[in-house]
Amino acid sequence: MSCPSVDRLYDDLDGALTGAEKESVERHLQSCESCRRARAVRGRIAGAAADLPPFEVPPDFAAGVMAGIAALPVPAAKKLHPGLVWTAAAAAAAGAGIGLGMILAGAGSAAWLSRNRSRVRSPAPQRRRLLAKGGKLPLLGRKNHPRSLPRSSRIPAIDGRNPRAGRPGRSHRRNSGHLDFRRRIPAPPTPRFGENA
């Protein structure tokens, strides 16, 4: 068996080992001189510490403590000051009132919503999809709004198609009336030689 740890030797001295553990340590100590010495040294220190003489208490120590206590009021479970009680009660009542008000307001809002559900606009399908993907909705500020753009910058209708109506799934900016240079505008037919314009 390998040498037991110092911690284990202390446990042995404290009597904290179980029967089998103690037996194993004792068996090892019979054959290991260094462990025997280590245990003996630690045992001597612990024994000397336990044998240190107690402090000699003066006979009048308790009387001195009691004299000090005589000057103190009798300790009792602390009673709340009446003013403090009223303050606490008022605070509790105010808190209850606020809570009740919040509940009533919540109930009122829910009732109004249930009555006017049809009037509450739900997000457009495109925006709903964007929201579902966790994306951020583009700002719909005054600057970006198609109607806020000057009339001159709007693309005129070509071939009866509305150029402002972008393909689904494109960004807001693409649909907002800005000039889109990627959209090819067909060139006017060039007159052939001999043909009358």
Residue 61 or 193 having the CB closest to another protein: 61
Residue 14 or 195 having the CB closest to another protein: 14
The SS3 of residue 50 is helix
Asked if 80 interacts with another protein (CB under 8 A), we say: no
Q: Following CA atoms 117, 123, 125, 127 in sequence, which dihedral angle do they give, to the nearest 10 degrees?
A: -170
CA 155 – CA 176 distance, rounded (Å): 10
Minimum CB separation from another protein for residue 12, in Å? Answer: 13
Q: Among residues 50, 60, 46, which one has the least CA distance to residue 9?
A: 46
Asked if 197 interacts with another protein (CB under 8 A), we say: no
Residue 13 or 155 having the CB closest to another protein: 13
* DSSP-assigned beta bridge partners for residue 158: 161
**Contacting residue, 23, 26, 37, 46, with another protein by CB under 8 A:** 46
Asked if 66 interacts with another protein (CB under 8 A), we say: yes
Q: Among residues 27, 35, 31, 34, which one has the least CA distance to residue 9?
A: 35
Asked if 1 interacts with another protein (CB under 8 A), we say: no
CA 42 – CA 4 distance, rounded (Å): 14
In degrees, rounded to 5, the angle at the alpha carbon of residue 79 between the alpha carbons of residues 74 and 83 is 135
92-96: long-range contacts (C-beta < 8 A, 24 or more apart)? none
Asked if 135 interacts with another protein (CB under 8 A), we say: no
For residue 77 the two structure tokens come to 């479970």
Number of residues that bind another protein (CB under 8 A): 33
Site string for another protein, 4-23 (x = CB under 8 A): --xx--x---x---------
**Contacting residue, 1, 20, 70, 132, with another protein by CB under 8 A:** 70
For residue 92 the two structure tokens come to 């509790």
Residues numbered 148 to 187 that lie near another protein (CB under 8 A) are none
Q: What residues make contact with another protein under the rule CB under 8 A?
A: 6-7, 10, 14, 41-42, 45-46, 48-58, 61-62, 64-66, 68-70, 72, 74-78
